[in-house]
Chains A and B, each alone.
Chain A
Amino acid sequence: MMGAALTARAVAARLGGRQVLADVDMTLSPGSLTAIIGPNGAGKTTLVRVMAGLVRPEAGTVLFGERPLSALSARERARTVAYLPQGGTVAWPLPAADVVALGRVPHGGGPGTGRIDPAVAHAMRATDSEAFAGRAVTTLSGGERARVLLARALAVEAPVLICDEPVAALDPRHQLAVMGVLAAEARKGRAVAVVMHDLALAARYADRVAILAEGRLVAAGTPHEVLTPAMLAEVFGVASLREERPDGLLVLPWRPLAPEPGPLPPSV
């Protein structure tokens, strides 16, 4: 199964009567990390849910290799695309190792099979979460829990890995570490997609960047091609700094562009 691309073709989706995606094409290639960025409400989460087979598109198809994702059984699809939802919580105080072991469910495994699945051990090592394997996941800090949940997604060992904002809850060190893990998974031959807001991390770690705005794909290409000050000004309304460094591209949003995008909503 390793080695095929996950492709969205002319995908459209509607949520509660509102057009959320229109005519989006996207290819997640094996060996490549794609950052999906865009303003709030651009349709990023809907797009990755469609590509993970969790939302049926209104139009268009999603293909794994040559096969439509919708033709796969639920279990086959689960083994093909691993999906980490945004801001996940775990309902019960399960031990972290058991939560990670749930990633083996599509393979007929899971917690309590009596032996440690190598995929679980590997995923916990990769996310540096072994130290709290036996602790109840509800007692972990936000960052620790985010790593355990990422390990759960890694433990599926699917050829495609899609993560919705996996670094949002993490401190800088663990943001870098998690992006490093995802980049390493891509280098192993997986197709990895990451929804994110951090332009600097996208520039630093992504092989490809796709920008969504108002449900449409505005740009796709390498970080060098896409993360230009002109593009960021147009899509996000920000002025940005950009610097070519020997070890990578540095992109930083610097200040909002005039005119201001209106008054901020009252804080809650």
Chain B
Amino acid sequence: MRGKEIEEGATRRPGRWLAAALLVVLLVLCVLSLMLGPARLTPALVIEGLFGDGGGAGVVVRDIRLPRTLLAVIIGATLGLAGAALQGLLRNPLAAPSVFGAPQAAALGAVVVIYFGYAEVYSPALPLAAIATSFLSVLVVILIAGESASLVVLVLAGLAISSLAGAATSLAISLSPNAFAVTEIVFWLMGSLEDRTMRHVALVAPFALLGAALLLSQGGALRTLALGEEAARSLGIDVRLLRLAVVTGVAVGVGASVAVAGTIGFVGLVAPHIVRPLVGHDPRRTLVPAALAGAVLLTAADCAVRVIPSATEVKLGVLTAIVGVPFFLYIIVRRRAELTGAPA
């Protein structure tokens, strides 16, 4: 009887079903994303456009909507995975790239590159600069938070970093001699997948893969870290290596994403929360489902911005923030006891 209970505790594995369900939802959303736009297409036309030999539908689907859909999937998955990994590393469900100011810092790096004209928009200098600054921001927040990583310190350090990055970005914009470039930068900062091409996909994909590989390689270590740093080290986990791998993985993925799509926040915060109760809260088993949930969220949001009636398309980053911030507040309210300093 008791043996059976042990077995149940250790072998209940709902993660696979969840991943399959999320994949199905993602596929449906991808088809929807290919259908939506100024010219609405039927699923049949989408399939013909994808696999047929072109015509009007072919151009719309392959050249306009497919890059956009692929970017939503890649960037959403990157942000979801980054959020899950950071939450595992800091043993804290409030951690996320946007809470750390990583997207804002990445945007600063990209804006500086654009501003000084170091790069045409498609050059790798853009993602590399964005990766470098987001790496710095996450590293600084983690160093300030220290081993204990209390909620208050994390959030305050993230706020400081993101304010600083935001101010520096504003400075760059206000010093810009070219009014057209200013409008361009401002709209780009809001985050959007409009008018992206396959070149953007090619720019972000290698970095996204590299970041994902780094983060996924740390699944076992993140799970062991649930016991705390001391116990994890006593079990042979190299915590410094783990920290470096996660910070690098997050910076590479988030930096490259921001470089092609602007700042899109809160997907990384929300996605792990959706899947965590369903996979049993294990940081390792949260990673892949959180990536899928992130892809689902961002693809759904990118469909939504095309459906919401407005003169110009609602910016994707604006929508994710409008939905994400209340969620963030909700988590804070739920964990208020910890935030006000009561022992956890």
Chain A contacts to B: CB under 8 angstroms: 49, 52-54, 73-75, 77-79, 81-85, 88-99, 101-103, 105-106, 110-112, 114, 116, 120-121, 124, 130-131, 133-136, 149, 152, 156
B2 CB → nearest A CB, Å: 4
B231 contacts chain A at the CB level, 8 A cutoff:
yes
Q: Tell me whether chain B's interface is mostly helix, strand or loop, or mixed.
A: helix
Q: Once the chains bind, are B226 and A121 in contact (CB under 8 Å)?
A: no
List chain A residues, Cβ under 8 A from B13: 112
B7 contacts chain A at the CB level, 8 A cutoff:
yes
List chain A residues, Cβ under 8 A from B237: 74, 105
Chain B contacts to A: CB under 8 angstroms: 2-3, 5-13, 91-92, 220, 223-228, 230-231, 233-238, 276, 280-285, 344
Measured between alpha carbons, how far is A99 from B8 in the docked complex, in Å? 14
CB-contact partner of B344 in A54, A89, A112, A120, under 8 A: A89
List chain B residues, Cβ under 8 A from A136: 281
Can you name 9 extra interface pairs (CB under 8 A) apart from A78-B235, A85-B228, A105-B236? A49-B230, A74-B238, A84-B231, A85-B231, A91-B225, A92-B282, A94-B226, A94-B280, A103-B235
List chain B residues, Cβ under 8 A from A83: 230-231, 234
B236 CB → nearest A CB, Å: 3
Measured between alpha carbons, how far is A102 from B284 in the docked complex, in Å? 12
A73 CB → nearest B CB, Å: 8
21 A-B pairs (CB sep. < 8 Å):
A74-B238, A85-B230, A88-B227, A90-B226, A91-B225, A94-B281, A95-B9, A95-B280, A97-B10, A98-B9, A102-B223, A102-B235, A105-B220, A105-B235, A110-B224, A112-B282, A112-B284, A116-B3, A120-B6, A121-B6, A133-B8
Measured between alpha carbons, how far is A85 from B231 in the docked complex, in Å? 6
Q: Once the chains bind, are B227 and A152 in contact (CB under 8 Å)?
A: yes
List chain B residues, Cβ under 8 A from A120: 6, 10
CB-contact partner of B224 in A75, A93, A105, under 8 A: A105
6 nearest A-B residue pairs (beta carbon): A78-B236, A91-B91, A134-B9, A97-B9, A83-B234, A95-B9
List chain A residues, Cβ under 8 A from B8: 133-134
A136 CB → nearest B CB, Å: 8
CB-contact partner of A102 in B2, B91, B92, B227, under 8 A: B227
Q: Once the chains bind, are A77 and B282 in contact (CB under 8 Å)?
A: no
List chain A residues, Cβ under 8 A from B282: 92, 94, 98, 111-112
List chain A residues, Cβ under 8 A from B235: 78, 102-103, 105-106, 156
Among B3, B281, B285, max chain A CB count under 10 A is at B281
List chain B residues, Cβ under 8 A from A91: 91-92, 225-226, 228
Among B231, B281, B285, max chain A CB count under 10 A is at B231
Q: Tell me whether chain A's interface is mostly helix, strand or loop, or mixed.
A: mixed
List chain B residues, Cβ under 8 A from A130: 2-3, 5-6
List chain B residues, Cβ under 8 A from A78: 234-236
List chain A residues, Cβ under 8 A from B227: 88, 90, 99, 102, 149, 152
B344 CB → nearest A CB, Å: 7
Known: A105-B224, A133-B5, A152-B227. Is A93-B281 also a contact (CB below 8 A)? yes
List chain B residues, Cβ under 8 A from A156: 235
Among A53, A79, A102, A103, max chain B CB count under 10 A is at A102
A166 CB → nearest B CB, Å: 13
Known: A82-B234, A91-B226, A92-B282. Is A121-B9 also a contact (CB below 8 A)? no
A62 CB → nearest B CB, Å: 14
Q: Once the chains bind, are B10 and A131 in contact (CB under 8 Å)?
A: no
Known: A74-B238, A97-B10. Is A131-B2 also a contact (CB below 8 A)? yes
List chain A residues, Cβ under 8 A from B226: 90-92, 94, 99, 102
Q: Once the chains bind, are B236 and A111 in contact (CB under 8 Å)?
A: no
Measured between alpha carbons, how far is A135 from B8 in the docked complex, in Å? 10
List chain B residues, Cβ under 8 A from A88: 227-228, 230-231
B82 CB → nearest A CB, Å: 18
- Nearest B residue to A138 by beta-carbon distance? B281
CB-contact partner of A131 in B5, B223, B344, under 8 A: B5
Measured between alpha carbons, how far is A264 from B303 in the docked complex, in Å? 65
Q: Once the chains bind, are B228 and A54 in contact (CB under 8 Å)?
A: no
Measured between alpha carbons, how far is A102 from B280 in the docked complex, in Å? 15
List chain A residues, Cβ under 8 A from B236: 73-75, 77-79, 105-106
A68 CB → nearest B CB, Å: 17
B263 CB → nearest A CB, Å: 29
List chain A residues, Cβ under 8 A from B3: 116, 121, 130
List chain A residues, Cβ under 8 A from B238: 74
A96 CB → nearest B CB, Å: 6
Q: Once the chains bind, are A116 and B7 in contact (CB under 8 Å)?
A: yes
Among B91, B226, B227, B237, max chain A CB count under 10 A is at B227
B83 CB → nearest A CB, Å: 15
List chain A residues, Cβ under 8 A from B7: 116
Measured between alpha carbons, how far is A105 from B10 in the docked complex, in Å? 14
- Nearest B residue to A82 by beta-carbon distance? B234
B179 CB → nearest A CB, Å: 50
B16 CB → nearest A CB, Å: 11
Q: Once the chains bind, are A111 and B223 in contact (CB under 8 Å)?
A: yes
A268 CB → nearest B CB, Å: 11
Measured between alpha carbons, how far is A105 from B91 in the docked complex, in Å? 19
List chain B residues, Cβ under 8 A from A149: 227, 231
